[in-house]
Amino acid sequence: MRSLSVALLLPLFLATACGRVEKDRPLDEVIAAAQAGDARAVGDLVRRFPHPDPAVSLKAWEAVIALGPAAEPALIEALAAGDRDVAEAAAGALGSVGTAAAVEPLIGALRNWPSRRYVAAWALGERGDPRAVPALVAALGDRDQEVCKYAARSLVKFGREATPALLEALQNPSERVRHYAVRALGEIRDERSIEPLLAAGGKLDREVHLWALGRLGDRRAFDRIAAAVADPDPAVRLTAIQALRDLGDERAVPLLTATLEDPEWMIREWAARGLESITGRRHRYRNQKGEQVHPYDLYR
């Protein structure tokens, strides 16, 4: 939780859309009133979320979360607070205790907030309401990369329910939208994604495309991945080798064996990892010192 300077603290206790915070009212008294159903007290607690004393902030947060859906009206109202710290914390709380009523206000925050939209993206994923899917897909192209990442993670939480909208996003003119749509599809691992992903290959970033094909684990992607093992770009080769490991297709064994001679030691290491994963036997590779070693494994 961000702290507020003394200069910024004063407005927190002035009249706002949620009512006036009584600066000197003891916190325990406010909590008791909120628990008794006093809506004004709930608003008071919400506006103490970014209190400069972390103990006060945490206690106010825990009290609001304990109220559950009863705190929702004050939290929704706080989304429009002029204080960005209050609004951000309210969105986070709605991710934990909000109901269906919070979805549209959170979508509005995701679309319209000047900053910190990533919190609204996260909260919508926690709510799991399908009304949020179009807004989250649109947010994959947000100017703020953190928003893109959180929107993609939230879409993954929807699972197969988000697949149709994400497949449609593969045709989006925005490269950023396509990139994060592929990331989400790779995590969801819906078999319906394989043909559209193969067809859209020329429009997609090669590394994330290969990664997603490997994550899907569909052997129809083998030829596309295998062709990238000889790519002149080491980053593409590495992703292709890792994708072959994920794919688990025995046809990859000769390719991975040949790749043990790749000029990049990290690619050689991942080739050995892939061989072990597919064959069940350990394989050595030549490390950066020229030594023949097994890939490092934390659990051995």
Confidence at 224, pLDDT banded by 50, 70, 90:
very high
Q: What is the pLDDT of residue 227?
A: 97
For the chain, give the mean pLDDT.
Answer: 91
Structure tokens that stand for 87 in this block: 């609004």
CB 156 within 8 A of CB 126: no
* Domain residue ranges in the chain: 1-98, 102-204, 223-300
Q: How confident is the model at residue 298 (pLDDT cuts 50, 70, 90)?
A: low
Q: Check: CB of residue 136 under 8 Å from CB of residue 154.
A: yes
pLDDT tens figures, 18-72? 444 445 589 999 999 999 999 999 999 999 999 999 999 999 999 999 999 999 9
Which residues, including other chains, have CB under 8 Å from residue 29's CB and lie 6 or more apart?
none
Distance CA 47, CA 53 (A): 13
Q: How far is CA 263 from CA 87, 253, 292, in A?
A: 52, 19, 14
Q: Which pTM was predicted? A: 0.86
In the structure encoding, which two tokens stand for residue 80, read together? 């429009």
What's the full length of the chain, in residues?
Answer: 300
The pLDDT of residue 81 is: 87
Topology of domain 102-204, CATH: Leucine-rich Repeat Variant (1.25.10)
Q: Is the pLDDT of residue 80 over 60?
A: yes
Q: What is the pLDDT of residues 236-292, one digit of tens each?
A: 999 999 999 999 999 999 999 999 999 999 999 999 999 999 999 999 999 999 999
Fold match between 102-204 and 223-300?
yes
CB 70 within 8 A of CB 62: no
Place domain 223-300 in its CATH homologous superfamily: Leucine-rich Repeat Variant (1.25.10.10)
Residue 82: pLDDT band (50, 70, 90) is confident
CB atoms within 10 A of CB 37: 10
